Amino acid sequence: MPAGLKVFGDQFHVQIDGTTPHITLLRKGMGSVGVNPYRSIYGQAEIIVNAGEILALVPGGIPLTLMRRNGNVATLGCPVANAGSFEYFIFSKHQASGVNYGMRLFDEATGQLIYDTGRAMLNVLGTHQGVGQTSYQSSKVAVIPGQTYADWSRTEQPLGGNPNSPAGYVLLYEAGAGCVTTSGGTVNVQNLRIFDSAGPPNANPTPGWDARGSNNLDNTLTVVDVSNL
């Protein structure tokens, strides 16, 4: 909007104006990393995220990656099974909180409620790209997954410990992804293995099995402040 009410956050992003449905906190909760149903040494967690909602994660020391969203279920991967609990926040376009006090803003054209003080607003601190560590001016940050690096490899390994005279061959498959941890205001991203599997032994080599590839994407996360939520 070129004129009218504008309120800026600490990082100079527009937090409130007179026409935009604002992004506010809808709910929060705790998730738990259990066991990947296809490979028990790796972890997996599921969170309900409905259409139009935004998932923000506070992994703490548990490396997490968003593997997929199927309908309203977001599935997270982890390099370690039963790794523990983590916190999450769900944001969405503002929904009336029901409070009858404080500030209430209505769309200048339609009269639709676009903000009230009963819900905390999404406070964006910045973005993190690639791997490595970045710190922000916050006592507690959450990350909104954007795009995620992923890779895979297929290899064939000799059995029996003697590559010159193997007892057979086993086919291996490995997959990795960008995984994030947080500590206070610090975000750390590493590309880690989140799945592997092995086929049954073969007496002879399998021509053309060895291969590897990636999605050629870089890890990109939006970092938000949740220190007072």
Span 105-134, average pLDDT: 83
Above pLDDT 70, what percent of the chain?
A: 88
Q: What is the pLDDT of residue 102?
A: 72
Q: What spatial distance separates the first Cα and last Cα of the chain, rounded to whole Å? A: 28
pLDDT of residue 70: 93
Question: Residue 106 — pLDDT band, cuts 50, 70, 90?
Answer: confident
Name the token pair of 5.
């009410």
Give residue 210's pLDDT. 94
Percent of the chain with pLDDT over 90: 64
Q: How confident is the model at residue 21 (pLDDT cuts 50, 70, 90)?
A: low
Average pLDDT value for the chain: 88
Across the range 173-200, mean pLDDT stands at: 96
**Cα(221)–Cα(187) distance, integer angstroms:** 10
- If one compares 205 and 180, the residue with the highest pLDDT of the two is 180
Quickly list H helices, 37-150: none
- Residue 123 and residue 207 in contact, taking contact as beta carbons nearer than 8 Å: no
pTM of the model: 0.83
Q: How confident is the model at residue 22 (pLDDT cuts 50, 70, 90)?
A: confident
State the pLDDT at residue 187.
98
Sequence ranges of the domains in the chain: 6-146+220-225, 150-214
Residue 19 or residue 204, greater confidence: 204
Nearest to 147 by CA among 125, 124, 119, 127: 127
Q: Report the candidate in 45, 10, 70 with the shortest Cα–Cα distance to residue 227.
A: 10
Q: What tens digit of pLDDT does each residue of 140-162 get?
A: 999 999 999 999 999 998 887 67
Say yes or no to pLDDT of 223 above 60. yes
For residue 136, is pLDDT > 60?
yes
- Tens-digit pLDDT profile for residues 55-78: 999 999 999 999 999 999 999 999
How many Å separate Cα 32 from the centre of its chain? 14
Task: Indicate whether 129 pLDDT > 60.
Answer: yes
